[in-house]
Amino acid sequence: MALKNFGRMVEVMTTNMSFSLANYTMEGTVPFDSDSLPNESEIRIWNLSQTTINRIVKNAVLMVNAGYTGDVGTILHGRISAVRTKWEGVDKITTINVLDSEDLSTREIKKEIAFAKGSYASAIIKQLAGLIGLPIAQMQLAKDYRYKSGYSAKGKVTDIISDVAKDCGTSVYINQGKLYVRPLRIGADSVFELNPDTGLIGSPEYFEEDGHKGYNCSVQLQRRITTASVLKLTCREWSGQLHVRSGTHKFSNTGDFSTEVEAIM
């Protein structure tokens, strides 16, 4: 691993409070994937005072910055969905669950919305995104499908957006509170060189499923890797370009400090 990646750094921030890996015992898992449902992260912090715990409240914004000395960036920006504290022996552990957007499960269209004949998918997606209050970070459709007979929308908004995006041959996912509508393999994402010198851990595992081929890889925590990241993998088993479909950042003081990804060819 390159020397620049020594020196673990994590900072958890919420309600004008900050908890750093240097001053607190912490661990966390931060998942990311390519579907339209918000991901739920889990952060555990040891031995907080009750006064501090009382200030960690549901629906408050929480951010996590992580990386190494001189190279730190955001891996989570969401809202707290649950907080609970329990004793394990002499330790008091507070577990914080965080959705990477607001809880969208109740955002439904109960009275059918009818879109006119000839409506384009892009216009429908933009209007539906407005209903769930998520900013669109990227909108790049493989094809902008035209509904010649019109389109009727009713039900969970995230499901409808997914269905429309599917008609366009395009993925839709939520990442750090923003909506992405784009194919995983198309975009101007920077390429991350993934090899043993840049933090690749062990041997990638090849997989084939649902018509996709790819590799499961583990790397020392890399905050730049997320959904749709482009990896240039170089290892004994294979060399080539991959596109990240899902993964998890894991951090702790002395245990896991890694990013695990599922990436497709």
Residue range 153-180, pLDDT digits in tens: 999 999 999 999 999 999 999 998 889 9
Q: Please report how the helices 157-167 and 121-132 are oriented relative to each other, as an axis angle in degrees rounded to 10.
A: 160
Q: Which residues are CB-contacts of 42 (< 8 A; sequence separation ≥ 6)?
A: 28, 29, 95, 96, 97, 98
| 135: in domain | yes
CATH of the domain at 127: 3.55.50.30
Angstrom distance (rounded) from CA 219 to CA 213: 19
Tell me: the pLDDT tens digits for 60-91?
A: 999 999 999 999 999 999 999 999 999 999 99
| 134: in domain | yes
Cβ neighbours, 10 Å, residue 44: 14
For 198, which DSSP code?
Answer: G
| 160: in domain | yes
| 260: in domain | no
Q: Predicted confidence band at 1 (pLDDT cuts at 50, 70, 90)?
A: very low
The parent domain of residue 138 ranges over 108-182
| 116: in domain | yes
Please state, rounded to an integer, the average pLDDT across all residues of the chain. Answer: 92
Q: Predicted confidence band at 188 (pLDDT cuts at 50, 70, 90)?
A: low
Average pLDDT on 227-238 reads 92
| 51: in domain | no
pLDDT over threshold 90, residue 6? no
Domains in the chain: how many in total? 1
Is the sign of the CA dihedral 212, 216, 221, 222 positive or negative? Answer: negative
Q: Which of 4-13, 101-110, 161-170 has the lowest mean pLDDT?
A: 101-110
| 95: in domain | no
| 162: in domain | yes
Tell me: the pLDDT tens digits for 193-219?
A: 999 999 999 999 999 988 899 999 999
Angle, CA of 10, 16 and 20, to the nearest 5°: 20
